[in-house]
Amino acid sequence: METIIFATKNKGKIKEINAILADMNVEVVSMEDAGITFDVVEDGTSFEENAMKKAVQIMEIGNKITLSDDSGLEIDYMDKAPGIYSARFMGEETPYPQRFQAIFEKLENVPEEKRTARFVSCIAAAFPDGRRLVSYDTVEGIIGWEAKGENGFGYDPIFFVPEKGKYMAELSPEEKNAISHRGKALRKMKEMLKKELEK
Amino acid sequence: METIIFATKNKGKIKEINAILADMNVEVVSMEDAGITFDVVEDGTSFEENAMKKAVQIMEIGNKITLSDDSGLEIDYMDKAPGIYSARFMGEETPYPQRFQAIFEKLENVPEEKRTARFVSCIAAAFPDGRRLVSYDTVEGIIGWEAKGENGFGYDPIFFVPEKGKYMAELSPEEKNAISHRGKALRKMKEMLKKELEK
């Protein structure tokens, strides 16, 4: 059984990826389980660069295939901000309701057709032998006029998903997983990993 | 026949890589030949990041497998400087003899065993489907006490190669190719490309 490190401190993400990879002969462990404590500086200029930087730096310490992810929200009217800075937008410690307010103010009187936005997720994998993999996916939506819903996290409460007629934070975990950028990117990564591990 | 773009404006590099890949069913073309004019900002924090950034950005424009390289000189006594800044050390326009002088001054009275240095070369490949490859190699040597030799380029005249008993710039192109970091990294990349193209 191949052990794969997921460069995250988030146990929820480990559970999620292990569920997705359940039918493969691999076990995904957290950095902590792999005995690695290391803070990667996310100074890349794209989701791919940030995700790959984490994967490569942790792979170089653990010497095992390492997965990592980076994601964010692109609001078209705000020139794709907050984008790669989503987690740090207005400061890492700023409560999300405060961020929502700032976004609603920037989009005041902006009509629906100009409120387009997307969640982007990028998953990167780094192999000790120099192979790297990148998968991307997005979910398209619009920035709503209020924060709604109790599920999810981050910007989910202000992100309206037209195909569901609901805000992202109103979706059940199952509904979200089926359409979400992270879920889709992880399933793409699974197919790529399968191919590479066959060799 | 697969067309591969080499993200460089240097025709010499295209010739070199085509010679190395001669027995594969691929043709390597320059950015210019692919009709791409684009300046990638080399703001990565490692050779891999810089090489990969170039490969990915050009691949996204050309939508073809794209190779790229980044290389530099690490002088241990100078905390591995100039490293990823080798080409820009003291300013991109600064003539190399002036840079050599500055290095000799920093290493004044530093004994041979502390003058260790290496040329590092990193080759990156980006595939449109999300696959990435990275190969690395180095050549170890010491910083000499004078600039010597007419071959090569960059820091070759001050880099003494103990196993050859000569400065890098004194080696013939054939001798240099056999031991050089770029040549070795390119041959590793060839093996990785072969495997990936078989799938």
Indicate whether B199 pLDDT > 70. no
| pLDDT at residue number A14 | 87
Which of B53, B135, B195 is the closest to A49 by Cβ? B53
The structural architecture, per CATH, of the domain A2-198 is: Alpha-Beta Complex (3.90)
pLDDT tens-digit profile of B96-115?
999 999 999 999 999 999 99
Angle, helices A11-20/A181-198, rounded to nearest 10 degrees: 60
Indicate whether A199 pLDDT > 80. no
Which of A43, A134, A135 is the closest to B45 by Cβ? A43
| A72 CA: distance to closest CA in chain B (Å) | 19
- Residue B172 CB burial class (10 angstroms; 0-12, 13-18, ≥19): exposed
CB contact under 8 A, B133 and A134: no
Kindly report the pTM of this predicted structure. 0.85
Question: Is A69 annotated as catalytic?
Answer: no
Question: For chain A, give me the number of helices (H) and strands (E)?
Answer: 5, 8
Q: Are A172 and A115 in contact (CB under 8 A)?
A: no
Find all residues with CB under 8 Å of B176, minimum gap 6, and list them.
B151, B152, B156, B168, B183
Three-state SS at B114: helix
Q: Are A118 and A186 in contact (CB under 8 A)?
A: no
The DSSP bridge partners found for residue A138 are: A120
Distance CA A25, CA A23 (A): 7
Three-state SS at A193: helix
The full set of domain ranges for chain B reads 2-198
Is residue A156 part of an annotated ligand binding site? yes
The helix or strand, by DSSP H or E, that contains position B126, with its residue range, turns out to be strand B116-126
Q: Kindly report the length of chain A.
A: 199
Q: Are A171 and A161 in contact (CB under 8 A)?
A: yes
Q: Which two tokens stand for residue B38?
A: 């684009």
Which of A56, A132, A195 is the closest to B133 by Cβ? A132
Q: What is the DSSP letter of B31?
A: T
Three-state SS at B175: helix
Q: Which of A42-56, B15-29, B59-73 has the lowest mean pLDDT?
A: B15-29
pLDDT tens-digit profile of B115-173?
999 999 999 999 999 999 999 999 999 999 999 999 888 999 999 999 999 999 999 98
Confirm or reject contact between B134 and chain A (CB < 8 A): yes
Q: Which long-range contacts (CB under 8 A, 24 or more apart) does A93-97 make?
A: A96/A154, A96/A155, A96/A157, A97/A147
Q: Which of A33, A70, A76, A137 is catalytic?
A: A70
- HSE on the CB side for B42, CA within 13 Å? 19
| A105 CA: distance to closest CA in chain B (Å) | 34
What number is the ipTM of this complex? 0.78
